[in-house]
Amino acid sequence: MTVFIKATHASKTIRKKPIIKDLSLEIKKGGIHAIVGQRLSGKTAVLKLLTGLWLPDRGEITLFDQQGTVTPRDQSVHIGAFIDQPVLYDRLSASENLYLFSQYFGYYDIKSVEKGLTDVGLRDDALSKTSTFSFSMKKRLAIARALFLQPPFVVLDDPFTGLDLAEQHHIRQLLIELNTYQHTTILLSTPDVSEVEDFAHTITLLRDGRTLETMSTLELKHRLSSFIHLNVDHAAKATFILENNLNITDFQVMDLQTIRIYDTSHPVYVIVQEIVKGGIQMNEVYHKQLDLEAYMAGTSRREPR
């Protein structure tokens, strides 16, 4: 896939406080990419940098392989975004909000307004003032506005929080259809990997303003699956035995002494027996399954500062 937007060692400081410390990632054209991180990890700040709402203090962010950093002009032309909180005109109806937005860009089609509201489940509330809307309804209207001009790149900040399960499913299916049939590139942020693991293609893990890792959703699921933890005196020698004596290749070397084996088809005692037979000291062995926060904490400890 072609790189659609790229951040290279970008950083941002607000009021002398580092918000983003080292942002490096690539968003592939035509893909669905999710940024996953806990509260205050910097997700919203990352989206503001990637869409040109903020300019980085250091580093670079490029769009469509252009030279230089993304600007607000790039944002308005190429990007449909809903970032942070829904900002609407409370005294106007839902349809009037979309109409005003379309006028700003010199585009208006009554059928497009109707379709935009229908797409997010607000057709029956088209004439209601947004001051009467619940948070869920305001969020869905903000999503409709981000999608309204059919931009090639859509950015949504935590789109599922505050929506009930049916509404989440509806928005998720809408995004899948946009990506599948219109090849829209989609970037999402979320604190909960379960919200995106079944439809995002790639995931970036964010912690304390730093990108930890970017991988496919399949790879992340794999890393969070059950594994056998080994701590030995020499990991390199142990992996040689795993590969050659037991034909185990599905493992990850964490450091000089620690190995995670994801191929659990062999009994633990067989693995221990072979490794000890090879003259390697076995310090620790057990079955384990990580949750995302534990995995990110471990990854963060291995990241160079």
Q: Which structural domain range is residue 190 located in?
A: 3-220
Asked if residue 175 and residue 275 are part of one domain, the reply reads: no
Number of independent structural domains in the chain: 2
In a domain, 300, yes or no: no
Q: Are residues 169 and 231 in the same domain?
A: no
pTM of the model: 0.78
Residue that terminates a domain, selected from 220, 237, 258? 220
> Is the separation of the CB atoms in 156 and 143 below 8 Å?
yes
Judged on CB neighbours under 10 Å (0-12, 13-18, 19+), 225 is exposed
Would 88 be classed as within a structural domain?
yes
According to the model, what pLDDT value does residue 238 have?
Answer: 96
In this structure, is residue 302 part of a structural domain? no
d(CA 147, CA 153): 9
pLDDT value of residue 264:
83
Residues 155 and 243 in one domain: no
The verdict on 104 and 243 lying in the same domain is: no
Let me know whether 34 and 141 are in one domain.
yes
**CATH number of the domain residue 275 falls in:** 3.30.70.100
Q: Please return the burial class of 116, using the count of CB atoms within 10 Å of its CB with bins 0-12, 13-18 and 19+.
A: buried
Q: Is residue 212 part of a domain?
A: yes
Helical ranges in the chain per DSSP H:
43-50, 72-78, 94-104, 110-119, 135-147, 165-181, 217-223, 235-245, 268-277, 292-302
Task: Give me the tens of pLDDT residue by residue for the chain, a chain 305 residues long.
Answer: 688 889 999 999 999 999 999 999 999 999 999 999 988 899 999 999 998 889 999 999 887 655 555 555 555 567 899 999 888 999 999 999 999 988 887 776 778 899 999 999 999 999 999 999 999 999 999 999 999 988 999 999 999 999 999 999 999 999 999 999 999 999 999 999 889 988 999 999 998 899 888 999 988 887 777 889 999 999 999 999 999 999 999 998 999 999 999 888 898 989 999 999 999 999 999 988 767 777 777 666 555 43
- 97 and 55 part of one domain: yes
Residue 303, pLDDT score:
54
Contact 243, 74 (CB under 8 A): no
Is there a single domain that holds both residue 118 and residue 146? yes
pLDDT of res. 305? 39
| Residue 294, in any domain of the structure | no
> Is 213 found in the same domain as 245?
no
Same domain, 82 and 194: yes
Calculated CA dihedral for residues 43, 191, 5, 167, nearest 10 degrees: -120
Distance, CA of 120 to CA of 116 (rounded, Å)? 7
- State whether 266 and 211 are in the same domain: no
- Per-residue confidence (pLDDT) for residue 44, from 0 to 100: 95
Q: Residues, the chain, total?
A: 305
What is the predicted pLDDT for the residue at 71?
Answer: 54
CATH (domain of 15)? 3.40.50.300
In a domain, 296, yes or no: no
Residue 58 is predicted with a pLDDT of 94
Q: Which of 163, 198, 220 is the last residue of a domain?
A: 220
Among the candidates 171, 198, 220, a domain finishes at 220
In a domain, 242, yes or no: yes
Same domain assignment for residues 230 and 213: no
Query: Is 301 a domain residue?
Result: no
Clarify whether residues 233 and 211 are in a common domain. Answer: no
**Spatial CA neighbour of 11 closest among 48, 63, 68, 57:** 57
